[in-house]
Structure 1
Amino acid sequence: MAKAARPRITVIGTGYLGATHAAAMAELGFEVLGLDVVPEKVETLARGEVPMYEPGLAELLRQHVEGIGGASGRLRFTTSYEEVADFGDVHFVCVNTPQKHGEYAADMSYVDAALDSLAPLLRRPALVVGKSTVPVGSADRLAARLAELAPVGEDAELAWNPEFLREGFAVEDTLHPDRIVVGVRSERAEGLLREVYAGPIAEGSPFVVTDFPTAELVKTAANSFLATKISFINAMAEVCEAADGDVVRLAEAIGYDDRIGGKFLRAGIGFGGGCLPKDLRAFMARAGELGADQALTFLREIDSINMRRRSHMVELTRNAVGGTLLGKRVAVLGATFKPDSDDVRDSPALNVAGQLHLQGAQVTVYDPKGMENARAIFPTLGYAPSALEAVRAADVVLHLTEWREFRELDPAALGEAVAERLLLDGRNTLDPALWRKDGWRFRALGRPTA
């Protein structure tokens, strides 16, 4: 008996999530077609180039994009929904769900548009798999819409398969996930997804089968828990500063408790990025719509603590330079919301830099990968080509994104360039003793001043 052909995969939306998923599916041996409605993005990817910085992604893409010498040819890109519908057996929807302007709720317009464009073209059995982070209840609505619009009717099924990518580790997280969660309504849908993820499952990745609402809730619940842990240690940093305690030693001590664990317990200027803040707010908004808003009122304080960290860093800087920022030269090391990424969306580092600038400081920023994106959002800030150039003649240096490059800086060399040897560590990753040995006044959030 002939072996059944492997399902062919499409990926709708080739941003950060989609481009990574498409390249990873090709790496797992599938024929993959990626779609985006932006022609320039498709052209970039078709050349084996990525429009964002993600370690390992460009190399993975070039191993599989059709037409590149030596590549497997299993991956190509298009702007045509007709081509996608004809090609694919499993269609992954990886479009963005940003926060609505002026509201906490998620904007579902991109997901709705993708489904409305694809469904009327499905003339043979297909599985549409949502990976975007959506408000709970969305999959039920979208499944009904899919069955209504698809010529093949109920043979066009929906499944929900949330993503758990960490920026900077997205390729690893896709190829070797710590868990695979699928919300399905049929054995056929489950079987297809088991086939798609056969490689990671064979390596031991847990495969968790749920209903639609639970699958949707897993991502928002996980992000809310991580945000709670980060804001908890930042709240402890505030208490440590008031009581002259050391939040780094506190985090170390409580992290040894297996029930708590040490991850995400580094106090600093808080979280940002394109996921955690907006997912937290969308979760609160959706709970309110469901009449369960009281269950998540604590998330409002989590969000508040997080935003307060940024203001606190500005206040700390102002006090450190004598009570006024007017005319002060401030060097900011870091613009991205985290290291190993060029993502500056809702970046605490860039937000602090912007606030300092608005209060009269002359701010110069350096980041290893995020300069172009930062300049697009805050063109009025100064930008330098290196850390050394950024700190030249500075009255104070702020460390706001924990890049490895910054941990390896030479305090003596930087000390020769600055006007004042004053360093504020907003990420608690620099060694105070090392900097103080070279004559720097060193202050870190939630730690003793000396």
Structure 2
Amino acid sequence: MIPDWSTSDDGALEDRPADQEVGDPGAAVRISVMGCGYLGAVHAAAMASLGHDVVGLDVDTAKVADLAAGRAPFFEPGLGELLAEGARSGQLHFSSDVAALTAAEVHFLCVGTPQRRGENSADLRHVDAAVAQLLPHLKPGDLVVGKSTVPVGTAERIAEQVRAVEPAATLVWNPEFLREGHAVADTLAPDRLVYGVPEGPAGERAVAVLNRVYGKAVAEGTPVVVTDLTTAQLVKVAANSFLATKISFINAMAELCEATGGDVVQLAEAIGYDARIGRRFLNAGLGFGGGCLPKDIRAFMARAGELGVDQALTFLREVDAINMRRRVRMVDLAREECGGSLAGRRVAVLGAAFKPDSDDVRDSPALSVAAQMSLQGADVVVTDPQAIANASAKWPDLVFAETVEETVRGAELVLLLTEWPEYVALDPARVRTLVRRPRVLDGRNALDAETWRAAGWSYRALGRR
């Protein structure tokens, strides 16, 4: 469906005052969102909820149909409600017809940048395809806003393409900082906004327009960092690299704790009181996964190599290696608990998504461990509140169950691999009545060890005595 947005007599969008009050929540903007995957669907729905007129574009007609009907094509808390609200208000539309682009004045690029097959670098085919579709529809004064995570230098290349087609249009970069499971809140109430803009009047106008787009957040005092295109592209990958490093650091400490008899949970608590360090992201366990951190740090290393400064990011290789070692170590622990061999052992796995409040199984540590145990001959049964469909599509040879009871019945070993609240809150005494042997491996250091031990369980976790 193409939205019927009013135009002037000559067919162009009616101009809006350049000096319109910055941060006015009522200053509606006509927006297109190119790409309606995880980032794009959330962004489109959130922008419509803020009062803007939004059309989301995607080549996947089935996805477009679901979104237009108010159905979220993936699990994200709060997204379904926003989609339904947008449909009712008439301010949110979805289409596969690129002609819908002509009605918008601000175009967000929200397509994916996956890791190239067999390489560390980012695959920019979707970005380039989106830009190629957009260019013929650009008008004077249009703002093209990149949100996709791209290698530094990509925005400058796209900016040249935009100028060549429409010199009066402007390319800016506005990186996203969404956390899966919290994406709606992160879009509506971000902890910061970053605008990468060109110098001069074009950049000043871009800032004013973006402040209208994010009017509510700006009015509520959200910090706005205005910088150049290069720095804006670096912000997202630098942030993800720092978070990945922090996670891998505490997991490296877990390896040392296992070798020395220390307790990584107590260690993290002690160092986390230092305000310079902080407690967040200091949770030892299976490490990070998903569609962002792993591929982003690898693409960052690859780009550094292309720029001739690969030594600056050499440490990220060990960050990645530590993260992957945690999965191997969990399988090793499972094998130890089963007497040296997993062959023929019934193992229950709680969790398939890479994190709770998500159905995303991309590079999921939980699913990786389950698959490795299955390949070593274990009789593995996996459950997850939201990710069974995606997990079974990725690993159809694994056995999946809908409930915890089905999963753990007759198990000789239980592994908690995704810390869903309902798994953390399980009654160990009740679960003990269902298993064959009460042995649990806590892959996220999320369970109360003393409670489980008091209920008669053998409890082990990464980095703990």
Q: Same fold by TM-score, threshold 0.5 exceeded?
A: yes
Q: Report whether the alignment pairs 1:183 with 2:196.
A: yes
Corresponding position of 1:285: 302
Equivalences, count: 438
Q: Report whether the alignment pairs 1:350 with 2:372.
A: no
Cα distance change, pair 351–3 in 1 and its aligned pair in 2 (3 A)? closer
Give the superposition deviation at 1:3.
7.5
Task: Note if contact 2:140-2:167 (Cα within 8 Å) is conserved in structure 1.
Answer: no
Corresponding position of 1:7: 29
CA distance in 1, matches of 2:363, 2:343: 25
Q: Report whether the alignment pairs 1:173 with 2:186.
A: yes
The counterpart of 2:112, out of the listed 90, 96, 112, is 96
The counterpart of 2:98, out of the listed 78, 81, 87, is 81
- Residue 159 of structure 1: SS of its match in structure 2? strand
The counterpart of 2:415, out of the listed 398, 405, 414, is 398
CA distance in 1, matches of 2:135, 2:190: 29
What TM-score, normalized to structure 2? 0.93
CA distance in 1, matches of 2:177, 2:47: 16
1:219-241 CA distances to partner (integer Å, 9 max, x unpaired)? 00000000000000000000001
Corresponding position of 1:46: 68
Tell me the C-alpha RMSD between the 2 structures.
1.0
Task: Note if contact 2:139-2:168 (Cα within 8 Å) is conserved in structure 1.
Answer: no
What TM-score, normalized to structure 1? 0.96
The counterpart of 1:321, out of the listed 325, 334, 338, is 338
Give the superposition deviation at 1:81.
1.2
Give the superposition deviation at 1:342.
0.4
**Runs of 4+ in structure 1 over 4 Å off:** 2-5
**Which ranges of structure 2 fall in alignment gaps of 5 or more residues?**
1-14, 18-26
Corresponding position of 2:457: 440
Corresponding position of 2:232: 215
CA distance in 2, matches of 1:43, 1:395: 45
Q: Report whether the alignment pairs 1:140 with 2:156.
A: yes
Give the superposition deviation at 1:408.
1.2
Q: Report whether the alignment pairs 1:302 with 2:315.
A: no
1:336-381 CA distances to partner (integer Å, 9 max, x unpaired)? 0000000000000000000000000010001011110000001111
- Residue 167 of structure 2: SS of its match in structure 1? helix
Corresponding position of 2:131: 115
Give the superposition deviation at 1:124.
3.5
**Which ranges of structure 1 fall in alignment gaps of 5 or more residues?**
66-70
CA distance in 2, matches of 1:83, 1:339: 36
The counterpart of 1:21, out of the listed 39, 43, 47, is 43
Aligned pairs for 1:229-308 within 5 A:
229-308=246-325
CA distance in 1, matches of 2:460, 2:418: 16
Amino acid paired to 1:88: A
The counterpart of 1:361, out of the listed 378, 399, 403, is 378
Q: Report whether the alignment pairs 1:126 with 2:142.
A: yes
Task: Note if contact 2:196-2:231 (Cα within 8 Å) is conserved in structure 1.
Answer: yes
Give the superposition deviation at 1:116.
0.6
CA distance in 2, matches of 1:204, 1:420: 55
Fraction of identical pairs, as percent: 61
CA distance in 1, matches of 2:180, 2:329: 26
- Residue 77 of structure 2: SS of its match in structure 1? coil
1:48-82 CA distances to partner (integer Å, 9 max, x unpaired)? 001000000001110111xxxxx211101111112
- Residue 155 of structure 1: SS of its match in structure 2? coil
Task: Note if contact 2:335-2:341 (Cα within 8 Å) is conserved in structure 1.
Answer: yes
Amino acid paired to 1:24: A
